[in-house]
Amino acid sequence: MPTVSRRNTLRKERRKRPSRFFQKLFLSAFLIMMTTAAAGAVFLFGTQKGFELREWAAGTLLTTQHDYWAPYTLLPKEKLDELKKEIRQPIVVNSPAPERVDAKPVLASIPVKPRELVEIEEIEVDKGSYYFKGKLMYISDPNRVHLVVTKRKDRGDLLDEFAKKHNAIGIVNASGFYDPDGYGKGAKAYGVVISNGNILQSYNPKTGETALGITYDGKLVTGSYSAQELVKMGVRDAMSFRPQLIVNGKNLFANRPAKSWGIQPRTAVGQKADGTIVFLVIDGRQPGHSIGASMNDVAELLESRGVVTAMAMDGGSSSMMLHNGEAITKTSCPYYRGRFLPNAWAVY
């Protein structure tokens, strides 16, 4: 039978055991973390895949309100400057107002099915290292597409507010706007704003934005045009953003680095050769649903659908599409109704 002294010693040893267990557990966890961090550092800074991943991250950050984080990807200064130039000084190609496209004659003996004004296509793409989902909206009558503009002074409108005011069948976001730290209220757009032939805002070349307009006969034009030049070309509605995606049937991103613009939620507006207007919205920043797309992805997707003129709209948390008053894409904005916007492209 243990003595009193021996029993006291055993109690002390038992009290020490849990402490030693947690010490060993903590040490093991620390070693695992350090090993993982070292392996991650080797991957990011010692492999080509790691370098490409840092390029994607830098490009993505440079197209957000948090572009000041891009240097922390530790890319070489030359590469970072190259990415910045690609974003801030994109190639701009002026497209003249296209000639009217006449419909092909149809034999009287062949019944013709009337086209729906609006048709929706689901988009789901897996690129291997990332994936995205979204919607394409086809509008058969381009003359039913208009730029709607907020009349508020304190803030912009939500997409569903625009849709309700104009009884819009379909609608997507359009211009970018002053947005400090993601808290902008969308009251004032950047660049050109023309609505129903009225110049509401003239082009500011210092912003580097590019215009996209639709003429009175339903043709899309894009380029580095002033508001006055666009009106002289017969443009009814116009706004500004960047970059151009397809001009005169040429995919401007065909041989450009995808990483420069990163992966984000995207909105684009384009037109097919037969006059059909195309709205595209890609969801993003939502793991498990949709990460987002590169500009190359957007240009390739539109080109594959026969689009001959297209330009990117504001992206990120502004990207959203409504059909018959209901959201059919999933915004990355914390507020499910999206953001306050200065204007939008609407079908009515």
- Tens of pLDDT, residue by residue over 292-322, are 999 999 999 999 999 999 999 999 999 999 9
pLDDT at 265 > cutoff 70: yes
Q: How far apart, in Å, are the Cα atoms of 313 and each of 26, 78, 86?
A: 50, 28, 17
Q: What is the pTM of this model?
A: 0.81
**pLDDT higher for 149 or 41?**
149
Q: Which of 14-28, 156-170, 299-313 has the lowest mean pLDDT?
A: 14-28
- The tens digit of pLDDT for each residue in 194-216 reads 999 999 999 765 566 899 999 99
Q: What DSSP character marks residue 39?
A: H
- The tens digit of pLDDT for each residue in 331-344 reads 999 999 999 999 99
Token code pair at residue 284: 């993003």
pLDDT at 258 > cutoff 50: yes
Q: Which range scores top for mean pLDDT: 13-17, 188-192, 339-343?
A: 339-343
The pLDDT of residue 223 is 95
The pLDDT of residue 75 is 73
CB 290 within 8 A of CB 297: no
Residues in the chain: 348
Give the pLDDT band of residue 103 (cuts 50, 70, 90): very low
CB 209 within 8 A of CB 241: yes
| Count of other CB atoms within 10 angstroms of residue 249 | 12
The pLDDT of residue 26 is 67
The pLDDT of residue 257 is 74
**pLDDT higher for 250 or 72?**
250
The pLDDT of residue 201 is 94
pLDDT at 188 > cutoff 50: yes
Q: Write the Ramachandran bin of 285: left for phi over 0, alpha for psi from -120 to 50, otherwise beta.
A: left
The pLDDT of residue 205 is 59
Token code pair at residue 233: 């070309």
Token code pair at residue 41: 């550092």
Give the pLDDT band of residue 285 (cuts 50, 70, 90): very high
Task: For the sheet with 343-347, list strands across it.
Answer: 145-149, 343-347, 170-173, 321-323, 326-327
- The tens digit of pLDDT for each residue in 106-131 reads 444 455 567 899 999 999 999 999 99
Q: Which of 17-21, 75-79, 217-221 has the lowest mean pLDDT?
A: 17-21
Residue recorded with tokens 């050769």: 273
Give the pLDDT band of residue 25 (cuts 50, 70, 90): low
- The tens digit of pLDDT for each residue in 35-54 reads 666 665 665 566 776 666 67
